Amino acid sequence: MIEEYKSAVKLTYHIDELRNKLTTFFLTMTGIGAAGLAILFKGEARTDIFGTILSLFLFIVAGVGFLIVMVLARLRRVQIEHFGIIDNIREFFLNNDYRLWNIIQLSSKYRPTPNRAFGTYIWLCIIIMVNSFVLALSVYLFSIRSGNIIRANYSYLIFFITFCLFSYLQDLIYFRLAIPIKQEKYSGNNPPFNYRKEPLKKDWILVFGR
């Protein structure tokens, strides 16, 4: 049990490190896009095709950012599940010794859940806001370069709508994927070593459905 406790603690720290690396990777890609925008707005690009390529690149960055949000949501779910393992092992060893509980303080009563008030979500908001801005900017650049299809007067409106909708979508996806599964209560009728067959569900139903 002690080795299981150490493994769970180690994994929670590893998830924090992985989250930092993913965030750094995304912000690096965004920085490349920002450099391209600076070149475009300064008029240093000699051909119009540069703007089209930049729009496509920003669209790809937004797609990568969307995948990163999904990965971070799953990582948060795994982290919370391992917090549960840590809490269960503490309860096993400390039992009703409230003197030790008052020293440790942390228990399942304070186990984190996906919440907009926690620092993890505030961290994620950096990616969501930047990613939504990148996608909206990509759509904006496309719209102003297709004036015969979309009037330039509506480009700012398109930018705003894209930003809001994509922010909402990422927020929805995060909370759908980050919620941990319900903890099993094992017994003689529900042993932990029996494989329980369940009907397969489509991934998008798992994301949007409930």
Residue partners of 204: CB distance under 8 A and separation at least 6: none
Distance CA 22, CA 30 (A): 12
Amino acid 50: pLDDT? 76
- Residue 170: per-residue pLDDT: 93
Distance, CA of 72 to CA of 43 (rounded, Å): 37
Residue with tokens 């929670």: 12
- Render each residue's pLDDT in the chain as its tens digit; 210 residues: 888 888 888 888 888 888 888 888 998 989 888 888 888 777 655 556 777 788 889 999 999 999 999 999 999 998 888 888 888 888 888 888 888 888 888 778 777 788 887 778 888 898 999 999 999 988 888 877 665 445 556 777 888 889 999 999 999 999 988 888 777 777 677 676 765 555 444 444 444 444
Give the per-residue pLDDT at 209: 47
What stretches of 43-183 show up as alpha helix (H) in DSSP?
Answer: 49-94, 98-104, 119-144, 155-178
pLDDT of res. 85 = 86
What was the pLDDT predicted at 82?
Answer: 87
Specify the pLDDT at position 6. 86
Contacts of residue 9, Cβ cutoff 8 Å, sequence gap at least 6:
86
Contact 102, 19 (CB under 8 A): no
pLDDT for residue 210:
43
User: Within a 10 A sphere around the Cβ of 30, how many other Cβ atoms?
Assistant: 20
- CA 96 – CA 130 distance, rounded (Å): 47
Q: Phi, psi at residue 147, to the nearest 5°?
A: -60, -25
